[in-house]
Structure 1
Amino acid sequence: MIRHETADDHREVRDVHTRAFGDNERVPGLVEALRVAAAALAPMSFVAVVDDRVVGHVLLSATRLDAPRRIVDVLSLSPLGVVPEFQRQGIGTQLIAHALEAADSRGVPLVFLEGSPHYYGTRGFESAGAVGFRSPSLRIPEAAFQVARLSAHEPWMTGTFVYSEAFWAFDCVGLRDPEAYSLSDNSFGSG
């Protein structure tokens, strides 16, 4: 079952990301900061629950696109995590689909992420650079810079993607070593 995250889920969501990413501070800290950050768009946070246990989490948070006409409020899908024993069962895919549907229903034109094109390319995302967007950092491998264009997207909405401050403060931009990245690697999301 996929549902909105509640305050009662926060401890379990922290555990999901600690276990999924092998990191007990950076990614969980990012989630906590994004929940309370002042932003043009409120965050959307969803959990996957199996037998009353939170086993997965996805967060959509406000970011911006520096487009030629004006700044456009968009979202970033990050992080996506599923506890190891529930990975490769479609839970990440369900979380992504639910998140994209929620963003689309809110009228958000674009959702960006850093991730494996092998994984996210079959789940509604495409190469952002190939369709006119510029990455916010040279530390993001070109193939990892992904976008989902939703129904509110208009052709003039191109330009530079800009992460919110929390991503920079927690050093969560371009975390991957480009030398270790491969098109078949699924480590750009723990779904």
Structure 2
Amino acid sequence: MKIQKLTEENRAKVYALLRSAFPGSEYEAGLVQKFHENGKPVHEWVCIHTNKVIAYIAFSNAYDGNDVCGLHLAPMAVAPDFQKQGVGSELLRFALRQEMIKSQPLFVLGEPGYYKRFDFEPCSLPICPFDKNNAHFLSMRNNTTTHFIVGYEPEFKTAAKPPSPQGKKRR
């Protein structure tokens, strides 16, 4: 297993990984593809095993108005066959040691029980526009004391929308 920066040659493998890790959703793959198409500054790494991308992690800019105030961790994914084997944890630990990541405030919208293991803490400020009451919004190295809604790259809104729940169709 090898961790490396994402290369252009591996982008299609990452999109496929995101589709398999988030079944029924095009949102995550669409988000990353839009980042690439629009040339957004994203810090990305993949975990490679037998020439297959088995895990992916990305960090994009977080904003206070027009000013960058840190990085958002999103998305992070592990291939279904490699989940619950520590691959995602190893990739996250690796990313957190990288120079461009370890000095920045970090934000993540995710499962608190998982991310607290990596020193992320629940955060009340800034406000996450995607999480009522910031119940699943965590941060690291966040010293924010002012009230603001944290901004995301516009691709978070323009990526393919998450699918609506499937119900019975009426004829």
The TM tier, using the shorter chain, reads 0.7 to 0.9
Any gaps of 5 or more consecutive residues in structure 2? 164-171
C-alpha RMSD of matched pairs (Å): 2.6
Superposed counterparts of 1:177-188, under 5 Å: none
Once the 2 structures are TM-superposed, how far is the Cα of residue 7 of structure 1 from its aligned partner?
Answer: 0.6
Structure 1 distance, partners of 2:13, 2:118, is: 25
8 Å contact 1:74–1:108 — kept in the other structure? no
* Amino acid in structure 2 at the alignment position of 1:122: R
1:108, CA displacement in angstroms? 4.4
- Residue 58 of structure 1 is matched in structure 2 by 57
TM-score normalised by the chain length of structure 2: 0.81
Q: Any gaps of 5 or more consecutive residues in structure 1?
A: 176-191
Aligned pairs, how many? 160
For the residues of structure 1 that align with 2:46 and 2:135, how far apart are their CA atoms? 27
From 92, 114, 135, give the equivalent of 1:143: 135
When the two structures are superposed, what TM-score results if normalisation uses the length of structure 1?
A: 0.73
| Change beyond 3 A, Cα 1:84–1:141 | farther
Return closer, same or farther for 1:158/1:108 CA change in 2, 3 Å cut-off: farther
The alpha-carbon distance between structure 1 residues 60 and 138, as it changes in their structure 2 partners (threshold 3 A), is closer
C-alpha distance in 2, partners of 1:138/1:98?
A: 27
The answer for the alignment partner of 2:169 in structure 1 is: none
Q: Tell me which of 79, 91, 113 is aligned to 1:95.
A: 91
- Percent identical among aligned pairs is 24
Q: How does 1:30-41 map to 2 (within 5 A)?
A: 30-37=31-38
Tell me the equivalent position of 2:126. Answer: 134
Counterpart in the other structure of 1:115: 110
